[in-house]
């Protein structure tokens, strides 16, 4: 039960299961789709929210009990999260497939729930430092677990850590089961049930997997393997990971508007081909991070900006925005260090604009067709460009709408998993209005250079 950080004590641990699930629902198959299968080597998504501790009339034991009870009721709607991954294998004829097993979630399944205490840690200890303090990483469970471990580990693990004056709710989600859209859909639903002490939610998840039936595709995807060792690549966190620094940079609506105007002016865009606000600020971040990370590299060195795109709205007809699962795909803009730095942000913004616009229904379906002919599992280490950046998450997610009855969260924080030098997470600014927070992860030398970059620091402002 002990935490890896001596400042944190684990008080209790239990498994939370759906309050009830019908036999018909639990018996339906939940086969993984192509995008989910490619994530089997990736690590869990780790996202958490920091709240001020409620008034003393609500004891911590009451709060913990309410969170457990509301989680159980929320899992009624999202019961696949209480299941486990299962591999179906046979030799004659040969077949190998992976799905979510919900039949036994009342026996061996469930969601891990840990109540922890950080006796001497305050909210200021989390929020005041320029860089995110390392103790935040110990607020999360399932560290170093990969998604394939969902065969034996929970698909969702929750740690609620009591601070001196706050509460941190940290969630580790299996990325082969949910993406960012599904993650925040679940968290908002859990908060809604807890806040109003009810059973119903305003947005029911769409759990059906039959969308894969596309004329030629069945729901079961047969992988060309006979054993997990043929496609699982497990790599421990390297010592360099402990050196990584995380820092939040706040972009106000005014700053974003200026960057967008500058990008579009440089490219002479029209109203029908406008570089979006997010594309402009992402290009700006890409360009500045490349300048500080690649200053000793030749101009012909390749660099890329990779970010996830929600395929729900890209398909025609589109999937429901409430489709529950992992339905994202990487969109990539490529160039060289010299080209990116010799042009303004409009040039990089246009690369991102074209990459997004090119990710159409036909492109999505074509990529699925190609993958289905030769299924493969990504080696996650291969997608990290040492001279590029990867932007995860999205400021479109309703993160600060997660009110468990104690008011709006004070901050969002993420864990260490899936972070590398050059990883960026984008979040909505707490005060709203179109502001955006970028959580940037860099090695100390590059972080120091970015913090000393006049162009970059002129565009960011203190969080409100």
- 9-230 and 240-459 in the same fold: yes
Rounded Cα distance between 427 and 306, Å, is: 16
Annotated catalytic residue: which of 5, 69, 403, 453? Answer: 403
Where do the DSSP E strands lie in 58-117? Answer: 84-91, 94-101, 111-117
* Beta strands across the sheet bearing 423-428: 245-251, 436-442, 423-428, 389-392, 302-310, 328-336
CATH topology of domain 240-459: Chloramphenicol Acetyltransferase (3.30.559)
Rounded Cα distance between 446 and 439, Å, is: 14
- Could you give the dihedral angle defined by the CA atoms of residues 362, 367, 371 and 373, in that order, rounded to the nearest 10 degrees? 40
Rounded Cα distance between 160 and 272, Å, is: 47
Helix 345-357 × helix 253-267 angle, to 10°: 90
Query: What string of H, E and C letters represents the secondary structure of 124-190?
Result: HHHHCCCCCCHHHHHHCCCCCCEHHHHHCCCCEEEEEEECCCEEEEEEEECCCCCCHHHHHHHHHHH
Residue with tokens 């600060």: 400
Interstrand relation of 166-173 and 94-101 (parallel, antiparallel or unpaired): unpaired
3-class state of residue 250 by DSSP: strand
Annotated catalytic residue: which of 175, 185, 343, 359? Answer: 175
Interstrand relation of 411-414 and 245-251 (parallel, antiparallel or unpaired): unpaired
Q: Which pLDDT belongs to residue 124?
A: 98
Q: Which pLDDT belongs to residue 107?
A: 56
Q: Using an 8 Å Cβ cutoff, are 248 and 461 in contact?
A: no
Q: Which pLDDT belongs to residue 91?
A: 87
403 is catalytic: yes
Half-sphere exposure of 456 (CA within 13 A, CB side): 22
Residue 204 is inside which H or E element, if any? none
Q: Which pLDDT belongs to residue 216?
A: 42
Contacts of 2 (CB under 8 A, 6+ apart): 9, 10
Q: Using an 8 Å Cβ cutoff, are 281 and 256 in contact?
A: yes
Taken in order 439, 133, 400, 77, is the CA torsion positive or negative?
A: positive
Q: Which pLDDT belongs to residue 104?
A: 65
175 is catalytic: yes
Q: Which pLDDT belongs to residue 144?
A: 86
Q: How many angstroms separate the Cα of 355 from the Cα of each of 23, 330, 348, 352, 358? A: 44, 10, 11, 5, 5
Distance of CA 157 to the CA centre of its chain: 14
What pTM does this model have? 0.94
For residue 32, what is the DSSP state? P
- The CATH number, out of the four listed (3.40.50.720, 3.30.559.10, 3.40.980.10, 3.40.640.10), of the domain defined by the range 9-230: 3.30.559.10
**Domain extent listing, the chain:** 9-230, 240-459
What are the per-10-residue average pLDDT scores of the chain (464 residues)? 72 94 82 92 95 85 96 96 94 91 74 96 97 96 93 97 97 96 98 96 89 55 93 78 92 97 94 92 97 89 94 90 93 96 96 96 92 87 80 96 96 90 96 95 96 96 64
């Amino acid at each position: 039960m002990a935490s890896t950080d001596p400042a944190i004590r684990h008080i209790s641990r239990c498994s939370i299961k759906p309050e009830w699930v019908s036999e018909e629902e639990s018996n339906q198959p939940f086969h993984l789709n192509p995008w989910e299968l490619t994530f089997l080597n990736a690590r869990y998504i780790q996202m958490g929210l920091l709240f001020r501790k409620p008034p003393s009339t609500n004891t911590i034991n009451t709060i913990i009990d309410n969170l457990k009870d509301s989680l159980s009721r929320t899992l009624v709607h999202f019961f696949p999260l209480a299941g486990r991954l299962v591999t179906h294998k046979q030799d004659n004829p040969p077949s190998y497939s992976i799905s979510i097993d919900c039949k036994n979630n009342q026996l061996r399944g469930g969601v891990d729930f840990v109540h922890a205490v950080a006796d001497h840690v305050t909210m200021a200890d989390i929020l005041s430092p320029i860089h995110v303090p390392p103790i935040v990483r110990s607020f999360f469970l399932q560290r170093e677990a990969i998604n394939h471990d969902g065969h034996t580990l929970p698909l969702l693990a929750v740690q609620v850590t009591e601070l001196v004056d706050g509460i941190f709710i940290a969630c580790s989600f299996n990325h082969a089961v949910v993406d960012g859209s599904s993650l925040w859909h679940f968290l908002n639903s859990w908060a809604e049930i807890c806040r109003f002490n009810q059973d119903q939610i305003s947005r029911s998840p769409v759990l059906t997997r039959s969308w894969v039936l596309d004329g030629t595709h069945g729901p079961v995807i047969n992988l060309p393997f006979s054993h997990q060792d043929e496609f699982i690549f497990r790599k421990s966190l390297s010592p360099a990971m402990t050196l990584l620094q995380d820092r939040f940079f706040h972009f106000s609506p005014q700053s974003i508007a200026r960057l967008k105007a500058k990008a579009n002016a440089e490219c002479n865009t029209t109203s029908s081909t406008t570089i979006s606000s997010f594309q402009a600020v992402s290009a700006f971040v890409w360009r500045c991070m490349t300048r500080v990370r690649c200053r000793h590299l030749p101009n012909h060195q390749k660099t890329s900006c990779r970010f996830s795109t929600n395929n729900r709205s890209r398909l025609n007809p589109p999937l429901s925005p409430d489709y529950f699962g992992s339905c994202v795909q990487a969109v990539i803009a490529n160039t060289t260090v010299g080209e990116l730095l010799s042009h303004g942000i409009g040039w990089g913004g246009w690369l991102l604009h074209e990459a997004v616009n090119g990710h159409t229904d036909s492109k999505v379906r074509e990529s699925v067709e190609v993958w289905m002919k030769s299924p493969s599992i990504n080696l996650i280490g291969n997608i990290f460009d040492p001279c590029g950046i990867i932007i995860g998450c999205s400021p479109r997610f309703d993160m600060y709408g997660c009110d468990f009855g104690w008011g709006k969260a004070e901050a969002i924080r993420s864990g260490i998993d899936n972070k590398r030098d050059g990883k960026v997470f984008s979040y909505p600014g707490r005060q709203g209005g179109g502001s955006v927070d970028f959580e940037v992860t860099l090695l100390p030398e590059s972080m120091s250079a970015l913090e000393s970059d006049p162009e970059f620091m002129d565009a960011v402002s203190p969080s409100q």
